[in-house]
Structures are given as C-alpha cells and as structure tokens.
Amino acid sequence: MRYVVEGTWTGYTSAQYRIVHREVVNAKRVERLRKLHKIVYTDGTALIINVREANYRERIKEVNSYGALIREAEAKGQNVFRVGIDDEKPKSVTMADVKGGPVDETNPLDPRGKWPA
C-alpha cells in the first residue's frame, strides 16, 4: 500500500496556504507520520502534515522540499515539532558582551548606553 504525505505551509494569511511538500511513503513510516501534526517555525507559520492513502493507479507529482526536516521531526516522535526554538533558558547578555568597543554611557545616541531619564 502506498501513502501520500503532504505538507501545507500556513503562511501569514489564509491566502498564502499552499502545498509545499508531497512525497510517497510506505506503511512503515505512516504511523510515525500520523502522530506528527505540524512543524512550527519561529515566525509563527507552520507546516501542517497530512497523510492519506494513495488511490489505485494515482499518479502523484512529488514535491520534495521539506523531506529532511519532516524526517527529523518524525524521529523526535512529538505531535508538534518546533524549529529554531531552544529548550534552554535564554542567556543574559551584558553590555560587555556587545561588540563595537566600549560603551559610552554619557552619549544618548549610543544605544548600548543608559538612556537619559
């Protein structure tokens, strides 16, 4: 039995919904892919994963643009896979860490310095 995996990018508006990935898979991968609902990006868009059974003698035009990302998300075994979002706490940045030389705290035009009250 053949199955079709389609990835639909949600876009920023409903007018931007479009299928950006389509591939034929076998029954071994289907159960893991059915658990995967979507891949969420940091900009708020998502790649929604749909799995369906291919019709008899159906010709499927493959669009393999997100295959590596879908396989990575499939291997994690989660319902929602987040791209670019670290599980760690954000590191605090001090003024000494900012590149560009010493900070002139008296200059109001230096964005790294203190703002006047």
Q: Which domain holds residue 38?
A: 3-82
Structural domain contains residue 87: no
For every residue of 28-49, DSSP letters joined together read: HHHHHHHH--EEE-TTS-EEEE
Structural domain contains residue 98: no
Asked if residue 112 belongs to a domain, the reply is: no
Q: Is residue 96 one of the residues assigned to a domain?
A: no
pLDDT computed for residue 90 by the predictor: 44
Structure tokens, 38: 């979507």
- Two tokens at 77? 């075994």
Does residue 104 have a pLDDT over 90? no
Structure tokens at 40: 């969420």
Whether residue 113 is contained in a domain is answered as no
Give the total number of structural domains in the chain: 1
**For residues 5 and 32, is the Cβ–Cβ distance under 8 A?**
no
Percent of the chain surpassing pLDDT 90? 26
Q: What is the pLDDT of residue 15?
A: 87
- Residue 10 is assigned to a structural domain of this protein: yes
